[in-house]
Structure 1
Amino acid sequence: MTKEAAQQAPEVPTVDIEALSAKLSNKNADYLFKFKRALQAEGISEEQQTAMLTEMLPEMLTAQHKGQPANQLYGSVTVKINSLLHAPKAPVKTSIQLQMLDNGLIFLIMYLAINGISAYFAKGKVTGIGITSIVITAVLAGVIMTYPMRYTQMPKDQRPPFWKMALIVVGLTLLFVAAYGVTILIPAVLNPVVPAIVQIVIAALLIGVRIYLKRRFKISGTFFG
């Protein structure tokens, strides 16, 4: 919970804070004193302090009866304050479309780099692969890789049957093979072989594009994390 969220939290039923505080042991009373002082230092309103104490005091007394002091129940005052006011936000789950985009870029970078470097050192001994073929196969590879990765990232109780995921991956793989075969038949005018050095430069530029998109949209859970 952030400081702002804490200040906007809904009202909770009140208890007799003074009466409950009086029942605390000396050790717990000292913990409560430091806790309240830390809340004041954070600028937390009286209403929010009351709401927090309303929740904490019954818990502290229950634990106290079991011989567990507050510093064992909650950790240090600093730890408790941080858990209430500065807890990290839950990460936003990356959409499947963004994961496909990132995976597709990864494969496009790899295909361009590998194809470009191979053609460069071959010195014209091979014709190379057309740019249209490279782009189509990279896109399909990105899509295919995303599904099994999403599957492994899902909680086990939410995963679809394994056979269903296997059928999807097999189907997409067959589509990948068929698509690659079709791209070979594309006329050279629509599937030109880009010079090796150009492919390498494009691959390098796409690395920068991927880094930007990954940071801009906080993409996670993809082929390279």
Structure 2
Amino acid sequence: MSKNKKSIEQDNQIDYVEKEKENATLFDQLTNKNQEYMIKLNRRLDDSSVSTERKTLILNDMLKNIVAEQANHMTARSIYGTVTDQARFLIEGKQGIVEKPVERSESWKIYLDGALLLGGMFAVITGISYFTGNEDAGLGFITLLLNFILGGFAVMVITKYAPKPGVKGGFLKYIVATTTTMLIWIMLMAFGTALIPAVINPVIPGPYTMAVGLLAFLAKWYLKKRLDIKGTLI
């Protein structure tokens, strides 16, 4: 064996040893549920005679990803699916490549997109009501502003609890979070705005309210592309 080839093999061996140490450190940072997932996956890979070197690289990629996503309350199962599905993918695949979770933009971007979406939607609905016969239709200035402010918070909550593949009870949490959020919004708009003095909450006529809504939709479309906002409702 040439010296160069022997040196390369020694370097590769050192790299695997370092990754194994890193894997142990990352494993200790996992939640109990995620540790259980990785233990079961490791057994499946051993049962299928996956080489130690390949398994080390696979687990290293997955562990880094899971540790990073734990801060977003995502589990290993929500990222990779069931242990059986992930093991089949890794064993039958040609390489130890793992799928990345769907990206989600920063909270302020989600808030901005949601505020423009729901605030604009209610403004447009009010405008449509005016043009279909309700000449008194319109929103107070403060009321219109609150629709945008509360709409952003509503979308943040809804997208946070949106069902994720492989997470048990995810749909139930989503229903509870969505229902609670909408009820709070309706109560605030119905009772809260009634307490606002008319002098500081002048009604904006239906046509102008609708124009505000349409501008909000245009702003949403533009900013979603410009800021590359991901993980929103639409």
Greater C-alpha Rg: 1
